[in-house]
Amino acid sequence: MQVFSCKEKTISFPSSVVTIGNFDGIHLGHRALIRLAVHEAKTRGCVSALVTFEPHPQEIIHSKQSVLRICTSVHQLRLLEELGLDELHVIPFTNELSQMPPEEFALKFLIKRFDLAKLVIGYDFRFGKSRAGDFILLENLSRKYNFSLEEVPPIQEKGQTVSSTLIRELLQEYRFEEIPSYLGRDFSIFGKTVHGEQRGQKIGFPTANIQPGIDLALPKGVYVSKIKLAEKIHFGVTNVGKRPTFGKNDLTVETWLFDFKEDIYGKDLEIFPIFQLRPEKKFTSTDHLKNQIKQDIEAARNYIAEHELALAPSLTS
Mean pLDDT on 55-64: 80
Mean pLDDT on 28-48: 97
Please tell me the predicted confidence (pLDDT) of residue 56.
Answer: 84
Asked if 53 and 134 sit in the same domain, the reply is yes
- Domain membership of residue 218 as a residue range: 188-311
Structure confidence by residue, pLDDT tens digits, 191-249: 999 876 555 554 557 789 999 988 999 999 999 999 999 889 999 999 999 865 555 66
Asked if 15 and 126 sit in the same domain, the reply is yes
Please tell me the predicted confidence (pLDDT) of residue 158.
Answer: 94
Asked if 199 and 127 sit in the same domain, the reply is no
Q: How many domains does the chain have?
A: 2
Asked if 108 and 143 sit in the same domain, the reply is yes
Q: Compute the mean pLDDT over every residue in the chain, rounded to the nearest whole number.
A: 89
Please tell me the predicted confidence (pLDDT) of residue 316.
Answer: 42
Percent of the chain with pLDDT over 70: 90
Residue 9 has pLDDT above 80, yes or no: no
Quickly state the pLDDT bin for 317 (edges 50, 70, 90): very low
Residue 299 has pLDDT above 70, yes or no: yes
Classify residue 74: in a domain, yes or no.
Answer: yes
Residue 130 has pLDDT above 50, yes or no: yes
Query: Is the pLDDT higher at 117 or at 6?
Result: 117
Query: Is the pLDDT higher at 249 or at 189?
Result: 189
Quickly state the pLDDT bin for 7 (edges 50, 70, 90): low
Asked if 11 and 144 sit in the same domain, the reply is yes
Asked if 148 and 239 sit in the same domain, the reply is no
Classify residue 40: in a domain, yes or no.
Answer: yes
Looking up residue 268, the CATH number of its domain turns out to be 2.40.30.30
Asked if 34 and 145 sit in the same domain, the reply is yes
Residue 146 has pLDDT above 90, yes or no: yes
Please tell me the predicted confidence (pLDDT) of residue 13.
Answer: 62
Residue 71 has pLDDT above 80, yes or no: yes
d(CA 202, CA 286): 10
Least confident interval from 47-56, 94-103, 185-194, 241-250: 241-250
Mean pLDDT on 126-140: 94
d(CA 91, CA 304): 43
Looking up residue 80, the CATH number of its domain turns out to be 3.40.50.620
Asked if 93 and 140 sit in the same domain, the reply is yes
**DSSP annotation string for the chain:** -EEEETTS--SPPPEEEEEES--SS--HHHHHHHHHHHHHHHHHT-EEEEEEEES-HHHHHTTT-PPPBSS-HHHHHHHHHHTT-SEEEEEEP-HHHHTS-HHHHHIIIIITTSEEEEEEEETT--BSGGG-B-HHHHHHHHHHHT-EEEEEPPPEETTEE--HHHHHHHHHTT-TTTTHHHHSS---EEEE-B---SHHHHTT---EEE--SS-BSSPSEEEEEEEEETTEEEEEEEEEE--GGGT--S-EEEEEETT-----TT-EEEEEEEEEEEE----SSHHHHHHHHHHHHHHHHHHHHHTTGGGSPPP--
Please tell me the predicted confidence (pLDDT) of residue 283.
Answer: 79
Classify residue 175: in a domain, yes or no.
Answer: no
Quickly state the pLDDT bin for 61 (edges 50, 70, 90): confident
Classify residue 177: in a domain, yes or no.
Answer: no
Classify residue 108: in a domain, yes or no.
Answer: yes
Please tell me the predicted confidence (pLDDT) of residue 244.
Answer: 53
Structure confidence by residue, pLDDT tens digits, 262-283: 888 889 999 999 999 999 888 7
Please tell me the predicted confidence (pLDDT) of residue 67.
Answer: 85
Asked if 118 and 263 sit in the same domain, the reply is no
Please tell me the predicted confidence (pLDDT) of residue 65.
Answer: 72
Classify residue 173: in a domain, yes or no.
Answer: no
Residue 312 has pLDDT above 80, yes or no: no
